[in-house]
Amino acid sequence: MARHTIILDCDPGQDDAIALLLALASPDEIELLAVTAVAGNVPLRLTEGNARRVLTLAGRSEVPVHVGCDRPLLRPLETAEYVHGATGLDGAELPPPAAGPAPGHAADAMIALVMSRPAGTVTLCATGPLTNLALALRKEPRLAERLAGIVLMGGAIELGNVTPAAEFNIYVDPHAADIVFGCAAPITMFGLDVTHKVLVTEPRLRAIEAIGTPVARAAAGLLDFYSRFDRDRYGEPGGPLHDPCVIAHLVDPSLFRGKACPVMIEREGVCAGRTVVDWWNMHRHPPTATVMRDVDADRFFKLLTERLARL
């Protein structure tokens, strides 16, 4: 299995926290260079602190956390405390951060880390709004060609989850998403169509809780709180677990299936944030992303549970 060197750009959020823990628990497959924080699920002052708390929980406070953009490029910030709670990590008592934020803006850190390494060796993983990455791409036009790829959670082929048309991460900053999807780097997109097949059911939650370690108990508490909103809204046996799909794909790409498609971003109007995925390529445009649509959810949770037990 290939080992991936990554930067994780995130807005923790319980599901971002689980994605970060999965990355930390998979050192054979993933080298985590840095975490970059962006405003999204909750404001930036919480997301960057939450990232540092999760690293402290996992005993990895040496991983740098760079603070990024506190608002979208052109729109007012909209957050999602109604899902994640007032802190963004409601459901568990995490330790205070053992280290402060790293110096330098997140976009500049992305540029420095990628440009200082050989081309094609760093993957940018994004599990929040794409503001930091879009800014980095604008500041350093060579960045896209230096990346091994971009793996992101965002968008949908079908229905949205914050408006009928749009998924939250893309909706929060559609102008940033338009820059990212147009950058010509290899993109892998995990939208709602696949993440809504990864449900935190009661048996899966209890299997994580049964590990019994402080990390596993915290993860179970976060997942229990986080899954309640979507479980009640959708009437499913569990809430969807979005962001860890990004990391699980790097650990074991055989978990997921999709195909290359043109993806366009609606930036304005009632459909702002819509990812227009031309699944059948009706317009004969070049593909801009590999769009994932199917997942082996049982194997996904087996992997997640086994890896959380390592921390």
| Distance in angstroms (rounded) separating the CA atoms of residues 7 and 64 | 10
State the amino acid at position 230 in one-letter form: D
| Distance in angstroms (rounded) separating the CA atoms of residues 262 and 240 | 25
Question: Among residues 134, 170, 190, 176, which one has the least CA distance to residue 271?
Answer: 170
Q: Among the residues of the chain, which ranges form H helices?
A: 14-24, 44-57, 81-84, 106-115, 131-139, 143-146, 168-172, 174-181, 192-195, 202-209, 214-234, 244-251, 297-308
Find the catalytic residue in 66, 84, 196, 242: 242
Is the distance from CB of 51 to CB of 100 less than 8 angstroms? no
Is the distance from CB of 88 to CB of 50 less than 8 angstroms? yes
Q: Could you report how far apart the first and last alpha carbons of the chain are, in Å?
A: 21
Question: Among residues 257, 259, 276, which one has the least CA distance to residue 187?
Answer: 259
| Distance in angstroms (rounded) separating the CA atoms of residues 14 and 90 | 8
Query: 294 pairs with which residues across the strands?
Result: 257
The reply to whether 285 belongs to the active site is no
Is the distance from CB of 12 to CB of 35 less than 8 angstroms? no
| Distance in angstroms (rounded) separating the CA atoms of residues 20 and 23 | 5
Question: Among residues 25, 196, 40, which one has the least CA distance to residue 133?
Answer: 40
Residues tagged active-site: 242
